[in-house]
Amino acid sequence: MIEIAHFWDWNRVAVHEWTGAMRRFAACGHTKFAINDWIALRMAFSPGFVNSVKKMIAEAGVTFTGVHAPFGGQWDLLAADPEFRPVSLYVHRKLIELLPNEFGVHSYTMHLLNDLYPGTPDDAEKHMGKVLEPLLEVASRNNVVIALENGFQEIDIPETMPRYMRRYASDNLGCCLDLAHANVIAHRRKANIDTYIDELLPYIIVCHLHDNDGEADRHWVPGDGIVDWKRCMPKLAKAPRLQSLQNESHSNNLSIEELCKRFDEVVRVC
């Protein structure tokens, strides 16, 4: 059974309180965390912050597994501004080299594009290589798998994602299945989420777990929406390349202890 890795809402508490929060997770048996996008970006430019976080996790007895890359704006794979692309590539390269060496993480989740993409999936398949191919070279040297996350456009809905896996076939490329995103798309298209999971199963490296009502990307805690966890989780457990199950929900008013209990119930059905 793969232990849940938490993004958690670190901005809920001051940095000097992070160690205490991590210890509360650890007391519940939850010792894995994922590095979120803004922490990763800060690490790229602040060696002092990297050292502080290393000290915190050592004191709390927890570890990191997986990273969510900076996203949105010009950080996504298909961002259009060619003038910013060298900056984006520099930061992604640096993180793919830095974080495995400092924290032992081996997955790097990326978005294709948060804004509306003007082209077709054919265009996306061709154009993403300008960023993806050089990053795959760095990922190969550092034993990292770049996990492309499914979203809400034609270019990144679940049935489109396998074509990118085939086009840029590499042991260092896979998929981040965001189960809640897939749930919304399944409802919009009157599709079966089981089919989406089956199509992506050979490529899944990371799975983002949160819930919604099928109408929008709510990032609710599992059990607060309509995702059928008892049906989906046993299927996900069969993914041959799965490294990390990651809590990407907003915990709202739940305590750390209540949040851990909710995710224990999700994992138990695997």
Res 253: pLDDT: 85
Cα–Cα distance, 113 to 74 (Å, whole number): 9
CB count in 10 Å sphere of residue 116? 8
Are 209 and 266 in contact, with CB atoms under 8 Å apart?
yes
Res 124: pLDDT: 97
Beta bridge partners of 68: 109
pTM for this predicted structure: 0.97
Helical H segments across the chain, by residue range: 18-27, 37-45, 47-60, 85-103, 121-127, 129-141, 161-167, 179-188, 193-200, 229-236, 256-268
Task: Compute the C-alpha angle 62/67/68, nearest 5°.
Answer: 135
Burial of 40 (0-12, 13-18, 19+ CB in 10 A): buried
Cα–Cα distance, 239 to 90 (Å, whole number): 32
Place of tokens 């993180």: 95
Q: Which domains does the chain have, with CATH numbers?
A: 4-268 (3.20.20.150)
Residues 6+ positions from 94 with CB-CB distance below 8 Å: 44
Beta bridge partners of 245: 4, 207
CA distances from 32 to 99, 191, 204, 206 (A): 15, 33, 19, 14
Res 9: pLDDT: 82
Question: pLDDT in tens for each of the 270 residues of the chain?
Answer: 688 999 988 888 899 999 999 999 999 999 999 999 999 999 999 999 999 999 999 999 999 999 999 999 899 999 989 999 999 999 999 999 999 999 999 999 999 999 999 999 999 999 999 999 999 999 999 999 999 999 999 999 999 999 999 999 999 999 999 999 999 999 999 999 999 999 999 999 999 999 999 999 999 999 999 999 999 999 999 999 999 999 999 987 899 999 999 999 998 877
Encode 159-191: b = buried (16+ Cβ within 10 Å), e = exposed. Answer: bbbeebbeebeeebbbbbbbbbbbbbbbeeeee
Cα–Cα distance, 207 to 65 (Å, whole number): 12
User: What count of Cα atoms within 13 Å lies in the side-chain half-sphere of residue 222?
Assistant: 28
Encode 205-227: b = buried (16+ Cβ within 10 Å), e = exposed. Answer: bbbbbbbbebeeebbbbbebbeb
Cα–Cα distance, 207 to 59 (Å, whole number): 28
In order, the DSSP letters of 76-102 are STT---TTTHHHHHHHHHHHHHHHHHH
